[in-house]
Amino acid sequence: MADRIATRFGFEEVGAEAKQARVNDVFSTVAERYDLMNDLMSGGLHRLWKGDFIAWLAPPGGRQVFRLLDVAGGTGDIALRCCKAGGSGTSAVLCDINPQMLRVGRNRVEAAGLGSRISLSVGNAEQLPFADKGFDAYTIAFGIRNVTHIQKALGEAYRVLRPGGRFMCLEFSEVQVPLLDKLYDFHSFQVIPRLGKLTAGAAEPYQYLVESIRNFPDQETFAGMIRKAGFAQVRYRNLTGGVAAIHSGWRI
């Protein structure tokens, strides 16, 4: 029955279960080239955006306990950045639905020597395998637009955060600068799939990723969804004219 619920895989209307399976296939295909994928999607800017993201999260220094849950964390970039920016009391759980992505993440965590502070877990953003009120912060970067039921995932984020905990999301968004939107559309639909085919041998995953960005709610609409999930003090910051945006909210 669930598969009959209409949702979108890029611009194509599919069933809910079908979308999840096809999203899993996309990320299994690009797992080993995930950083390259983000470079193509953002022109390399995702590295600067993630720096801004961690700076706004501001994990504490020293031995103060700070538990992060990074959902759809894939190759571990956000978890690694958070633990490097925070003190010895900062730890992270890297959670992703895709085992291939987590395998890449595990290798990166071990290479960074942070295995004692970063653990990994297979889990669905819509039904997280964690107890209530267990984390100080929840992050999701370039992952929530691939979730089938976004509002359900936001509810799960609220559930696993302690009172006073913080939700933060980094995602491609709606460009709000005249002319830049046209340029970005051209780059997205004409350049990215071709580059994906040349560098990764397949254009289809990149075509889906471009389409998924266009289907994602704009900044104000997404902020309203975060508030609906129960979060307070919801704010967002545009990056590069709205090509991406950081959303922040608190469980009060």
In a domain? residue 102:
yes
In a domain? residue 101:
yes
In a domain? residue 132:
yes
Question: What CA–CA distance (Å, rounded) separates 230 from 69?
Answer: 18
Question: What CA–CA distance (Å, rounded) separates 141 from 245?
Answer: 10
Detail the DSSP E strand segments found in the chain. 6-9, 12-15, 66-71, 90-96, 118-122, 135-141, 161-172, 232-239, 244-250
Q: How many CA atoms lie within 13 A of 2 on its CB side?
A: 7
In a domain? residue 195:
no
In a domain? residue 169:
yes
In a domain? residue 188:
no
Nearest to 28 by CA among 215, 200, 188, 194: 200
CATH number (domain holding residue 129): 3.40.50.150
In a domain? residue 71:
yes
In a domain? residue 200:
no
CA angle 92, 83, 159 (to 5 degrees): 30
109 neighbors 120 (Cβ within 8 angstroms):
yes
Range of the domain at 151: 2-177+205-250
Cα 236 versus chain centre, distance: 15
Question: What CA–CA distance (Å, rounded) separates 217 from 68?
Answer: 25
Residue 127, strand partner residues:
124
CA distances to 97, 134, 208, 229 from 223, in Å:
24, 24, 24, 10
Q: How many domains does the chain have?
A: 1
The dihedral formed by the CA atoms of 55, 131, 99 and 78, expressed in degrees to the nearest 10: 0
Note down pLDDT in tens along the chain; length 252 residues. 333 344 544 445 545 566 667 667 766 666 667 777 777 777 889 999 999 999 999 999 999 999 999 999 988 999 999 999 999 999 999 999 999 989 999 999 999 999 999 999 999 999 999 999 999 999 999 999 989 999 999 999 999 999 999 999 999 999 999 889 888 888 788 877 787 777 666 677 777 778 888 889 999 999 999 999 999 999 999 999 999 999 999 999
